[in-house]
Chain A
């Protein structure tokens, strides 16, 4: 299957450095310090490192699995679990990857509605995004990759703005270090999973990478970049907020931006939140491209028609989710599924594959 992709649609392995964070750094970054602190308090920055490192291991496993299976996840599933079960697992996986586009887009829409345009209706933002996403995804993988480069650059600029709140930091907040039990760190690490998801998309776009065996270092590099960004944000939040204050702040990142006052613009977040739109677009497009391609390969659909159906689903579900609570639950459920899919299923798949390989030789 991998051989069928024309050379001109492929990208160099270097771009994995952007593709991985382009999916990971989405909307989770706005609010995660608060959820993270729930368990292990202000020690939980350690959890970011735990999750980041374990995700790197998962990426490495994904590359091994794909290399053994010839780069086609549907084929791998079919060989491992048989035609029907394998196909069903592939289907679930694509469905799950597709749900990303909904989670990201709906959460961002909520942010826009709360911070910038309180009376803007959900459907109009979603529609504008769906049209944009259609426009990008239909042009193929290289365009989607281009968007993720934008996303990484913009997110990097936005995070460097956190130097602004330095005036009010209290480093003592982080003390005493390591004052929690191991189980609390692990629970925190699990909360962090939502921020590192998206590595499974590798299963789909792996065939689009030139010289895939050289790509693993770029993929892990991208993951480490995400890790550093998250670590920076979470440390900034922990030295800036007091514990009780953080619990009261829905989006710690924005409230930190609120303290930044520039000579030419009084309120920085009105600049940063719209700029974030590009980061969101990259995530949405990547998720849509991956899932539409997955469904196309699985059911031999036409990718263009699949994409339109998927967009219609994103659009109608976005409008259905109305309250913060529903959106929060959607986020939590996706994170939960993602946790089992990524950190439990992938090692199991790898194990089964190893055993079968041994058996056959």
Chain B
């Protein structure tokens, strides 16, 4: 009896379809383009392994694409399956790019498809690409033979080096559904045959409304997250400039209610050292001057950026969230009406620790 029981346990456990890595097409990148009101085009990029030719330089890998047009993710998938010799699988998906036209029309449906799929991880990078993602994935204009890996490393590198704020599937969905906060995605563009991260795409609900430049992106990053290790360039009078390294930023908010209108004070503390300075000499006096200019410049830039968001009636900084978490019985509708006219005071406090190792 005992033996029979053990035998039965093993017998009942092997009845699923096998998924052998060699026999799957693992999608690494997907591009989604706008076609017309109803349809969109999806392009998936799958790596093709050519076998081991004795080195590890990655030359054995190229990528290939499959394209399909359809109205829902499901019939796109059916069309792709009909074009593919092997089973297509989403479990290694690393990047999904939406073309900017698509992003302007709203990407909630497609985004939801990926969020819903348990095979897709939460660290998936989403991004907006200016131009056709279909051409991007097919032509592979990159330094690496495999475009999808290039794209995910590109975004990752830009986040780690503090050009753009943290972004992935989780952050996108978190902000999309958070009250008093709007979401953003990395914005990519092809410049001189090379793909670059050129800033951040700002959304209102699930629709892209604007794209920030890289300079604006780092300021935006200072407002929404604490980090260290960034770089910032200050323009000085007489066409001089100084670059601040190892910049750390910490922002905090204060909310005061005046006659039913919230007034927000933003305190930003930054710290860094001067790494590059075009003029000479760099003495303590000059450092103080740079410090002062940096403070002024950041204050102006931040105010400008917040004004820009208020004019666009979108709140990616999450000022509404700051007010919400400090108010009992917060009313989202009322806040939306107030938002474009809310006063935001900006206090910047910078410390420049030293001017490098040479005098």
A172 within 8 A of B: yes
- Measured CA separation A3–B331 after assembly (Å): 64
Residues of A within 8 A of B321 (CB): 172
Do residues B175 and A242 form an inter-chain contact, with CB atoms below 8 A?
Answer: yes
Do residues B171 and A244 form an inter-chain contact, with CB atoms below 8 A?
Answer: no
- Least CB distance, A273 to chain B, in whole angstroms: 10
- Measured CA separation A242–B322 after assembly (Å): 14
A243/B5 contact (C-beta < 8 A), A258-B121, A259-B123, A266-B121 known: no
- Measured CA separation A121–B13 after assembly (Å): 10
Do residues B121 and A119 form an inter-chain contact, with CB atoms below 8 A?
Answer: no
Do residues B121 and A168 form an inter-chain contact, with CB atoms below 8 A?
Answer: no
A254 within 8 A of B: yes
Do residues A127 and B115 form an inter-chain contact, with CB atoms below 8 A?
Answer: no
A172/B17 contact (C-beta < 8 A), A131-B5, A241-B174, A248-B177 known: no
Q: Say whether chain A's binding surface is mostly helix, strand, loop, or mixed.
A: helix
Complex partner residue of A114 from B112, B118, B175, B322, CB under 8 angstroms: B118
B275 within 8 A of A: no
* CB contact list, A291-324 vs B, under 8 A: none
Size class of the contact patch on chain A: 20 to 34
* CB contact list, B14-35 vs A, under 8 A: 15-17
Do residues B122 and A255 form an inter-chain contact, with CB atoms below 8 A?
Answer: yes
- Least CB distance, A21 to chain B, in whole angstroms: 26
Residues of A within 8 A of B123 (CB): 258-259, 261
B137 within 8 A of A: no
- Measured CA separation A134–B2 after assembly (Å): 11
* CB contact list, A330-350 vs B, under 8 A: none
Do residues B174 and A245 form an inter-chain contact, with CB atoms below 8 A?
Answer: yes
- Measured CA separation A114–B117 after assembly (Å): 9
Sample of 6 more A-B contacts, CB < 8 Å, known A128-B13, A131-B9, A168-B171:
A119-B16, A124-B13, A128-B12, A132-B9, A243-B178, A247-B177
* CB contact list, B97-130 vs A, under 8 A: 112, 115, 118, 121-123
A245/B122 contact (C-beta < 8 A), A128-B12, A176-B326, A179-B328 known: no
Do residues B8 and A242 form an inter-chain contact, with CB atoms below 8 A?
Answer: no
B325 within 8 A of A: yes
Do residues B325 and A175 form an inter-chain contact, with CB atoms below 8 A?
Answer: yes
Residues of A within 8 A of B325 (CB): 172-173, 175-176
Residues of B within 8 A of A173 (CB): 325
A115 within 8 A of B: yes
A120 within 8 A of B: yes
Do residues B16 and A120 form an inter-chain contact, with CB atoms below 8 A?
Answer: yes
Q: Which residue, of B9, B118, B322, has the highest number of chain A Cβ atoms within 10 A?
A: B118
Residues of A within 8 A of B181 (CB): 242
Residues of B within 8 A of A156 (CB): none
Can you name the residue of chain A whose Cβ is closest to the Cβ of B112? A248
B281 within 8 A of A: no
Do residues A245 and B121 form an inter-chain contact, with CB atoms below 8 A?
Answer: no
A259/B178 contact (C-beta < 8 A), A114-B118, A124-B13 known: no
Do residues B328 and A245 form an inter-chain contact, with CB atoms below 8 A?
Answer: no
A60 within 8 A of B: no
- Least CB distance, A33 to chain B, in whole angstroms: 15
A244/B177 contact (C-beta < 8 A), A128-B13, A172-B321 known: yes
Interface 0/1 of B311-333, CB less than 8 Å to A: 00000000001100111110000
Residues of B within 8 A of A247 (CB): 177
Interface 0/1 of B172-187, CB less than 8 Å to A: 0111111101000000
A254/B177 contact (C-beta < 8 A), A128-B12, A132-B9 known: no
Do residues A244 and B178 form an inter-chain contact, with CB atoms below 8 A?
Answer: yes
- Least CB distance, A6 to chain B, in whole angstroms: 23
Complex partner residue of A248 from B2, B17, B115, CB under 8 angstroms: B115
Can you name the residue of chain B whose Cβ is closest to the Cβ of A120? B16
Residues of A within 8 A of B15 (CB): 120-121, 124
Do residues B177 and A119 form an inter-chain contact, with CB atoms below 8 A?
Answer: no
Q: Could you list 23 A-B pairs, sorted by A, with CB under 8 Å?
A: A115-B118, A119-B17, A120-B15, A120-B16, A121-B15, A127-B8, A131-B5, A135-B2, A168-B170, A168-B174, A176-B326, A179-B329, A242-B174, A242-B179, A242-B181, A243-B179, A244-B176, A247-B177, A248-B115, A248-B173, A258-B121, A258-B122, A259-B123
- Least CB distance, A241 to chain B, in whole angstroms: 7
- Measured CA separation A261–B123 after assembly (Å): 9
- Measured CA separation A176–B330 after assembly (Å): 10
Residues of A within 8 A of B122 (CB): 255, 258-259
A81 within 8 A of B: no
Complex partner residue of B12 from A127, A242, A248, CB under 8 angstroms: A127
